[in-house]
Amino acid sequence: MKKLILTIITSFALTGVSYAGSFGIGVSGSLAQVSADGTETTDAGTVAGGAANKNSKSVDELGMIGSIFLDYEFDNGIVLGYSHVPGTAEVSGKKHSRTETAQGVSGTDADGSVTRTADAEVENFNTLYLEYPIGPIYAKLGFSQIDVNTLENAVTDSGTYGNATLDGYTIGAGINGEMGGFFTKTSVEFTDFEDLALNSSTVNKIEADLDVLEFKIAVGKRF
């Protein structure tokens, strides 16, 4: 999918090379719904009874996302651009914790229980995209990347997870406009990232899926 999207973007960009055009720079604001579904499987040997323990969680967070972008619009209306979302954001608004009974684990309470806390944050949400005009609207196709950083307490038996960079694709549709010498874009966009799979420094693992739905308004200036 990644190769296909990049091939499509490159092909359309090369098609527009023979056309003159103009650079644009701007900012956007989005009302975004971030959806994440994840499962953590803990080591069977660390939980009393020797049975593996699976903990699943689904999160749907609604919030505002700001971004900056740079693009080039060819005279045929095709736009090739790049956007970046600065800063970091938690996938959920709070840390998730649970208490388990463990055997022979340092860091446990007097009764042998251990409390694990886990959370994740995302940053560096970048998208290389192509906008193709279809009458009064445009269709958008992009290749996206995002960094996922895991945050958990370092209980001896559970280990810690690393971080990951996820690839994804963005599709959307929007309408172009003008306002006092600036151009505007109003769009709906959906980004589907590849599945996240991380193994801890022991034998635990996390599997998760991350999607982002945005209702976006952008304002920019062409030169």
- Give the pLDDT of residue 87: 86
Please report whether residue 110 resides in a domain: no
Residue 171 lies in a domain: yes
Mean pLDDT (whole number) for 88-112 = 53
Contact between residue 33 and residue 61 where contact means Cβ atoms under 8 Å apart: yes
Task: Report the run of H or E that residue 105 belongs to, with start and end.
Answer: none
- Dig out the tokens for 205 from the structure: 């693992």
Contacts of 58 (CB under 8 A, 6+ apart): 35, 36, 37, 38
Other residues' Cβ atoms within 10 Å of the Cβ of residue 191: 21
Task: Report yes or no on 102 lying in a domain.
Answer: no
* Residue 71 pLDDT: 95
Measured over the CA atoms of residue 73, residue 87, residue 96 and residue 146, the dihedral's sign is positive
The pLDDT assigned to 49 comes to: 53
* pLDDT score recorded for residue 135: 86
Angle CA 123–185–187, to nearest 5: 65
Reported as half-sphere exposure (CB side, CA atoms, 13 A), residue 167 has a value of: 7
pTM of the model: 0.78
Is 133 a residue whose pLDDT tops 60?
A: yes
The count of structural domains within the chain is 1
Summarize pLDDT for 135-178 with one digit per residue, the tens.
889 999 999 999 998 876 655 455 677 789 999 999 999 999 99
Over residues 17-39, the pLDDT tens digits come to 556 689 999 999 999 998 888 88
Tell me the C-alpha distance between 96 and 56, whole Å.
11
Per the domain annotation, does 63 fall within a domain? yes
Residue 91 sits in a domain whose CATH number is 2.40.160.20
Q: Is 14 a member of any domain?
A: yes
Does residue 101 fall inside a structural domain? Answer: no
Q: Can you give the pLDDT at residue 156? A: 47
Q: Tell me, yes or no, whether 77 lies in a domain.
A: yes
Would you state the pLDDT for residue 17? 55
Note the pLDDT of residue 60: 87
Strand partners, 183: 178, 220
Asked if residue 107 has pLDDT above 50, the reply is: no
Mean pLDDT rounded to a whole number for the chain: 80
Q: Which residue has the higher pLDDT, 73 or 17?
A: 73
209: domain range? 2-39+53-96+119-150+162-222
Give the range among 30-39, 114-123, 178-187, 190-199 with minimum mean pLDDT. Answer: 114-123
Identify whether 108 is part of a domain. no
Highest averaged pLDDT of the listed ranges 43-47, 52-56, 100-104, 215-219: 215-219
